[in-house]
């Protein structure tokens, strides 16, 4: 890509960087142009929302799309995902029956979910385990019992592949309090489209977890950290 930074960027929301795909074969050109448009769209949204490094976020999204895995083993992956709920079923049941002692949160980066059955499974498992949050093919944020956050993350890494933990939080539950008293996110988990990362960002921002979302963009320490 060739990126041209205009005068006034990023302070002026109207000063948008020009992101052009370099020339390639006919088969590659369309893909590159699609990525160029997607990057420009991400920059525009990030500027509107006031993030310090919108171009960084856009290029991270492009990197994920460029490195997405092939679809060659979708059939096998679907079968694996369908059977994943049998892993440690008894221990999960024990966890669900017991009182949690730590609230956990995870921000996961993914490259990226193309299998629709995997998307359904991500949502189904989170809701069965009372892990609130939201996900799309490139990112997932969850909140709930820390023990189930660990198990959920392990399953995502094992079956979805190309999953990394970008950020995490653990909050001990004080005596006299319950896990639901400490939740920041709604208890329900929702899965949205690949072009709706802004919904995940808004969910986190509206519920005081913007710093956790920023770890998805590899910005650590929140907005202050991004200025260093």
Map 197-218 to HEC letters: HHHHHHHHHHCCCHHHHHHHHC
For residues 89 and 169, state if they share a domain: yes
Strand partners, 132: 143
Give the residue with greater pLDDT, 69 vs 150. Answer: 150
Q: Which helix (H) or strand (E) holds 80?
A: helix 74-83
Q: Are strands 163-172 and 139-145 parallel, antiparallel or unpaired?
A: unpaired
2-61 pLDDT per residue, tens: 667 677 766 666 766 666 665 555 656 666 666 666 667 766 766 666 665 566 666 665
For residues 206 and 126, state if they share a domain: yes
For residues 42 and 18, state if they share a domain: yes
For residues 195 and 112, state if they share a domain: yes
- Which residues are within 8 A (CB) of 7 and not within 5 positions of it... i.e. 6 or more apart? 15
For residues 210 and 115, state if they share a domain: yes
Domain boundary among 32, 66, 100: 66
Q: What are the angstrom distances between the C-alpha of 79 and each of 75, 118, 212?
A: 7, 10, 32
Which pLDDT score is estimated for 78? Answer: 44
Domain boundary among 29, 46, 66: 66
For residues 8 and 113, state if they share a domain: no
Which pLDDT score is estimated for 108? Answer: 96
Domain boundary among 39, 66, 93: 66
Number of folded domains in the chain?
Answer: 2
For residues 34 and 85, state if they share a domain: no
CB count, 10 Å around CB of 78?
Answer: 16
For residues 113 and 217, state if they share a domain: yes
For residues 40 and 89, state if they share a domain: no
For residues 104 and 21, state if they share a domain: no
70-87 pLDDT per residue, tens: 444 444 444 444 444 444
Which pLDDT score is estimated for 85? Answer: 44
Q: What is the mean pLDDT of residues 128-135?
A: 97
Which pLDDT score is estimated for 63? Answer: 59
Q: Phi/psi of residue 109, each to 5°?
A: -105, 140
Task: Give the residue numbers spanning the domain of 211.
Answer: 74-226
| Domain of residue 123, CATH code | 3.30.70.100
For residues 78 and 125, state if they share a domain: yes
For residues 51 and 83, state if they share a domain: no
């Amino acid at each position: 890509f060739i990126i041209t930074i205009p005068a006034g960027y990023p302070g002026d929301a109207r000063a948008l960087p020009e992101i052009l795909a370099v020339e390639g074969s006919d088969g590659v050109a369309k893909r590159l142009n699609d990525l160029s448009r997607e990057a420009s769209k991400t920059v525009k949204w990030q500027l509107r929302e006031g993030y310090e490094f919108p171009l960084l976020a856009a290029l991270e999204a492009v990197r994920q799309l460029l490195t997405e895995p092939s679809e060659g083993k979708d059939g096998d992956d679907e079968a694996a995902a369908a059977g994943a709920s049998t892993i440690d079923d008894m221990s999960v049941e024990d966890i669900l029956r017991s009182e949690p002692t730590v609230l956990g949160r995870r921000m996961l980066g993914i490259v990226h979910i193309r299998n629709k059955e995997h998307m359904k499974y991500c949502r189904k498992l989170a809701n069965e385990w009372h892990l609130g949050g939201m996900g799309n093919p490139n990112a997932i944020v969850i909140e709930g019992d820390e023990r189930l956050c660990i198990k959920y993350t392990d399953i995502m890494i094992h079956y979805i592949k190309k999953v990394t933990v970008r950020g995490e939080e653990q909050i001990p539950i004080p005596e006299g309090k319950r896990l639901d008293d400490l939740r920041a996110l709604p208890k329900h988990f929702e899965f949205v489209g690949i072009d709706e990362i802004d919904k995940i960002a808004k969910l986190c921002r509206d519920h005081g977890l913007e710093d956790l979302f920023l770890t998805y963009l590899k910005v650590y320490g929140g907005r202050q950290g991004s200025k260093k």
